[in-house]
């Protein structure tokens, strides 16, 4: 090729390539009519579900035994027997400890001998008193002598009564050598072992063990002033769930339990608020046949603070957060997205109670919320398949 042509063709080829590249890019950037009319996002919608609901408050409490007794001796002596295992269930009257009874048996025998001696002296004094009356009639004895014999008979009667009382006390002390459980319940570990000398002196009695009742149990919690006022108002109007004795029904749940599977009643309320905490102590009575409610455990107590009614629930996953506000997306009649700010209540079986912000029959977006970019966005709604109705127990309104 001629050198002149080679040097002139090169720039023209480069210019044509750049021109084609710019032209092609400009054509690819211009949108086509089909691309500009994108299809609306597909979302799944469902109406809020209506369920029975009672407004409640959830409080933290602690379980305590109805009866708790410290086992202490009433006589002093050496422990010779421990008749239980730690944690064992015991019945009222069951022997738990035995103190060496031999000194007390001897005391009973001595008291019995004193009673017999007093009976002999009384019999002798009685015969002398009868003879004195006969001798007094014949003036064979002075009045003073007859009075002395009557006095000796009275002293003998008193001595017999004292000896009898001493015998009863000796028998009672002998019975106290067998230390029994005063209640039905569960006993703890033995705090004194065999061979120890225990004290039965009042005020210095040795602590041997403890026994607590297990069925029923109490639970204690505090009500703040606002909740107390609501409770009293609706209780006076008889709008709270109550038993046949007019006691408010409550629910209780342990740390490893869902909801409030244990049911009880409010047994009593304290007579005034604590001025430091502004709260009122109340006590719940609960049956405990399976002994799952162990004294000392922490528990959640659900107490009703309003009349029973209905509430709307939606899946908890549909609730969004905007700063400190909660919202849910709904679809209008024109198939556009609406943002509804709501006041959520408690979570019940995976669904969130809505206290306000939604109405029955509205179409709530339950699936596809990630495809929603802004309020007013057109969407293509699809009805969610019908689910089995929820029948939860009363939740707690916060």
CB under 8 Å to 101, separation ≥6 — which residues?
174, 177, 178
- Residue ranges of domains in the chain: 42-53+309-383, 57-66+213-304, 79-99+177-212, 101-176
Q: How many CB atoms lie within 10 A of CB 86?
A: 11
C-alpha atoms less than 13 angstroms from C-alpha of 165 in its C-beta half-sphere: 6
Query: What pLDDT, on a 0 to 100 scale, did the predictor assign at position 40?
Result: 86
Does the structure show a pLDDT above 80 at 135?
no
Q: Is 368 left (phi over 0), alpha (psi -120 to 50) or beta?
A: left
For residue 132, give Cα distances in angstroms to 122, 124, 144, 147, 160: 15, 12, 10, 8, 22
CATH 3.40.640.10 fits 42-53+309-383, yes or no: no
Query: Minimal CA–CA distance to 254: which of 63, 391, 398, 395?
Result: 63
Q: Could you tell me whether strands 379-383 and 41-46 are parallel, antiparallel, or unpaired per DSSP bridges? A: parallel
Class of domain 101-176: mainly alpha
CA trace torsion 378, 382, 388, 392 (10° rounding): -10
* pTM, two decimal places: 0.65
Question: How far apart (Å, rounded) are the C-alpha atoms in residues 398 and 392?
Answer: 17
Does the structure show a pLDDT above 90 at 38?
no
Does the structure show a pLDDT above 70 at 147?
no
* Count of residues making up the chain: 398
For residue 62, give Cα distances in angstroms to 148, 204, 221, 278, 316: 71, 31, 7, 19, 30
Query: Minimal CA–CA distance to 308: which of 203, 211, 397, 375?
Result: 397
Tokens of 365: 């977006």
Segment among 29-38, 245-254, 329-338 with least mean pLDDT: 29-38
Query: What pLDDT, on a 0 to 100 scale, did the predictor assign at position 211?
Result: 94
What would the 3-class secondary structure string for 99-115 be? ECCHHHHHHHHHHHHHH
CATH 2.40.50.100 fits 79-99+177-212, yes or no: yes
Question: How far apart (Å, rounded) are the C-alpha atoms in residues 205 and 163?
Answer: 28
Q: How confident is the model at residue 350 (pLDDT cuts 50, 70, 90)?
A: confident
Per-residue pLDDT, averaged over 205-222, amounts to 93
Query: What pLDDT, on a 0 to 100 scale, did the predictor assign at position 206?
Result: 94
Sign of the torsion formed by the C-alpha atoms of 147, 149, 155 and 156: negative
Percentage of the chain with pLDDT > 90? 36
CB under 8 Å to 195, separation ≥6 — which residues?
78, 79
Q: For residue range 269-313, what is the model confidence (pLDDT) as tens digits?
A: 888 888 888 899 999 999 999 889 999 999 999 988 888 788 888
Q: So what's the architecture of 57-66+213-304 in CATH?
A: Beta Barrel (2.40)
Does the structure show a pLDDT above 80 at 6?
no
Query: Minimal CA–CA distance to 107: which of 81, 79, 77?
Result: 77
3-state secondary structure of 295: coil
Per-residue pLDDT, averaged over 236-257, amounts to 86
Residue with structure tokens 């707690």? 396
CB under 8 Å to 16, separation ≥6 — which residues?
none
Contact 302, 56 (CB under 8 A): yes
The CA-based angle 110-116-122, given to 5 degrees, is 135
Contact 301, 263 (CB under 8 A): no
Segment among 105-114, 176-185, 336-345 with least mean pLDDT: 336-345
Query: What pLDDT, on a 0 to 100 scale, did the predictor assign at position 106?
Result: 95
Segment among 24-33, 275-284, 327-336, 368-377 with least mean pLDDT: 24-33
Query: What pLDDT, on a 0 to 100 scale, did the predictor assign at position 132?
Result: 65
């Amino acid at each position: 090729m001629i050198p002149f042509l080679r040097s002139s063709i090169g720039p023209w080829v480069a210019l044509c390539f750049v021109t084609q590249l710019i032209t092609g890019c400009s054509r690819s950037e211009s949108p086509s009519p089909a691309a500009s009319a994108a299809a609306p996002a597909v979302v799944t919608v469902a109406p809020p579900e209506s369920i029975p609901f009672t407004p409640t408050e959830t409080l933290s409490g602690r379980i305590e035994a109805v009866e708790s007794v410290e086992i202490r001796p009433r006589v002093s002596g050496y422990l010779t027997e421990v008749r239980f295992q730690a944690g064992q269930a015991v019945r009222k009257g069951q022997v738990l400890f035995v103190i060496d009874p031999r000194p007390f048996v001897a005391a009973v025998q001595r008291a019995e001998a004193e009673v017999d001696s007093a009976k002999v002296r009384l019999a002798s004094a009685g015969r002398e008193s009868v003879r004195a009356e006969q001798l007094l009639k014949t003036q064979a004895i002075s009045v003073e002598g007859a009075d002395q014999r009557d006095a000796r008979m009275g002293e003998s009667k008193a001595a017999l009564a004292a000896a009898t009382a001493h015998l009863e006390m000796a028998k009672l002390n002998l019975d106290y050598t067998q230390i029994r459980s005063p209640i039905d319940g569960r006993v703890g570990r033995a705090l004194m072992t065999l061979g120890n000398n225990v004290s039965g002196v009042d005020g210095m009695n040795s602590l041997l063990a403890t026994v607590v009742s297990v069925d029923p149990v109490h639970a204690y919690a505090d009500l703040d002033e606002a909740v107390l006022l609501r409770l009293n108002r609706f209780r006076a109007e008889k709008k709270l769930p109550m038993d046949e004795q007019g006691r408010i029904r409550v629910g209780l749940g342990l740390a490893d339990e869902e909801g409030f599977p244990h049911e009880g009643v409010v047994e009593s309320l304290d007579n005034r608020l604590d001025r430091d905490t502004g709260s009122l102590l109340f006590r719940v009575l609960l049956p405990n046949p399976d002994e799952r409610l162990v004294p000392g455990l922490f528990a959640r107590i659900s107490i009703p603070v309003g009349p029973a009614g209905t509430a709307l629930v939606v899946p908890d996953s549909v609730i969004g957060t905007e700063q400190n506000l909660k919202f849910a997306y709904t679809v209008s009649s024109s198939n556009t997205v609406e943002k509804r700010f709501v006041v959520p209540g408690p979570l019940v079986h995976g669904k969130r109670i809505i206290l306000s912000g939604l109405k029955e029959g509205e179409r709530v977006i339950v699936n596809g919320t990630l495809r929603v970019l802004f309020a007013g966005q057109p969407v293509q709604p699809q009805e969610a398949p019908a689910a089995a109705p929820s029948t939860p127990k009363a939740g707690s309104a916060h």
